[in-house]
A = this chain, B = another copy of it.
Amino acid sequence: MGAYRIAVLPGDGIGKEVTRGAIEVLQAIATRFNHQFEFQYGLIGGEAIDRAGTPLPTETLDMCRQSDAVLLGAVGGPKWDGNPPHLRPEKGLLAIRKEMNLFANLRPVKFYASLADSSPLKADIIQDVDFVIVRELTGGLYFGKPSGRRVENGEETVVDTLLYKREEMTRIITVAFELASKRKKKVTSVDKANVLESSRMWREIAEEVAKEFPDVELEHMLVDNAAMQLIRYPKQFDVIVTENMFGDILSDEASMLTGSLGMLPSASLSTTGPSLYEPIHGSAPDIAGKNKANPIATILSSAMMLRLSFGLHEEANAIERAVQQVLTSGYRTADVAKKGQRVVSTKEMVDEIKAAI
């Protein structure tokens, strides 16, 4: 039996409902496996702006740093869209990633036979798809300076800067190789080396890191081609590793393979402190508070937490099996339901998964 302190940041929109669902599932795990999970709550995003004047209050950050792992819902909403850049909900997300050094974002993409119908892709294309996108999360265009407007020769000009240090590239590519060495032993490194200097350095470093993993195959792929291959023949992938912005675009695209963003969990790992787990979907303001959101992405994120932060493999498997079982039994939230299927609410879905544990 173990005791774990989990910082929960529900955030905005459906963030509250889906984290609540994941916590209930974690409690079911605690009971069954005799663990103790202590949940502490913090503000982030729009709600933090409203109640504390900043998208990432110091108290939130302190609490997260002292936790064993962080569970995040989602941030953002139309209410704050007009805010100046430093008072946007997303700034809270970017800040916590940077402050907690959460440089390695893992986004598994896995085929669920029971959901094949809700994917826009043909069944034979997505069958047995099982890969992980490893996205660099604390560098590149998201954080490089300069970033802003200036007047040059009388003309208004704007820049953003794609900046990486060698070490930042090395560590994320290493994470990808370590992961691949425990899986199907193939790394696809995605870049734009025919245009970008940063990609040429990335490719060089990928070659260097590859030498330390002689049993893992390294393949380079241009980002435009990767965007195509992801839907043309996704079975070719095992671990995809790429920089921040490319990873943002490709992982949202890849989410369509499973039929819904509502299915995809993610882990954001640090090597210097606790890691963070969150669904890859957003705050979906249109359905917030309506007991309609799909809680599975967050529930699967909590399974990743058990496995990667606490080493509780059996417990993580129990959650994943429960999700499979409930889907196979035909339960669907509205986002993945097809005609004739039984549509359940967020709460009913959570109850079914708890019951299956």
A interface residues with partner B (beta carbon < 8 Å): 76, 85, 88, 90, 94, 120-122, 125, 141-142, 144, 147-149, 152, 155-167, 192, 194-198, 200-201, 223-225, 227-228, 230-233, 245-246, 248-253, 255-256, 261
Contact = CB atoms under 8 A, between A and B. Distances in A.
A201 B231 contact: no
A248 B196 CA distance: 13
A197 B248 CA distance: 17
B121 A85 contact: no
A19 to B, nearest CB: 21
B252 A228 contact: yes
A94 B253 contact: no
Nearest to A256: B231
Interface of A: prevailing SS: helix
A251 B224 CA distance: 8
Contacts of A231: 120-121, 231, 253, 256
B232 A120 contact: yes
Given A142-B195, A249-B224, A166 B162 contact: no
Contact of A122 (B122, B152, B161): B122
Contact of A195 (B94, B125, B233): B94
Contacts of A252: 224-225, 227-228
Contacts of A157: 163-166
Contacts of A76: 194
Contacts of A120: 121-122, 125, 231-233
Contacts of A245: 192
7 contacts: A120-B122, A156-B166, A158-B163, A160-B162, A224-B249, A227-B252, A249-B249
B197 A148 contact: yes
B163 A194 contact: no
B155 A164 contact: no
Contacts of A147: 196-197
A198 B159 contact: yes
Contacts of A249: 223-224, 227, 246, 249
Contact of A201 (B155, B158, B201): B158
B155 A166 contact: yes
Contact of A121 (B121, B159, B161, B164): B121
Given A120-B233, A149-B201, A227-B249, 7 more contacts: A147-B196, A156-B166, A158-B163, A158-B201, A159-B197, A227-B252, A228-B255
